Amino acid sequence: MTDAMLTGADALPRPKRAGWWRFVRRNPTLVLGAAILLVMGLFALFASFLAGDPITMQPAQRL
């Protein structure tokens, strides 16, 4: 009979992991700042693809 009885620690359900959504709700400014830094980093990595060559643009002819 003692084998079938649950102790206090065994009777409690295991808590779920917090998950990313709970982290976002608790730290919205941290997540926003990290997203801004990520976007700025991506712009820095791909800057050569986003901007054109200033020598080949010929701004005087575009006017």
For residues 63 and 57, what is the distance between their CA atoms, to the nearest angstrom?
Answer: 11
Q: For residue 8, tell me if it sits in a domain.
A: no
User: Which residue's entry shows tokens 């990313």?
Assistant: 20
Which pLDDT value is given to residue 56? 80
43, pLDDT greater than 60 = yes
pLDDT of residue 19: 84
Q: Label residues 5-33 b or e (16+ Cβ within 10 Å = b).
A: eeeeeeeeeeeeeeeeeeeeeeeeeeeee
Tokens standing for residue 45: 């990595």
Residue 61 included in any domain: no
Range of the domain at 37: 20-48
Q: Rounded to an integer, what distance in angstroms lies between the CA atom of residue 10 and that of residue 15?
A: 12
Question: What total of structural domains would you count in the chain?
Answer: 1
To the nearest whole number, what is the mean pLDDT of the chain?
A: 81
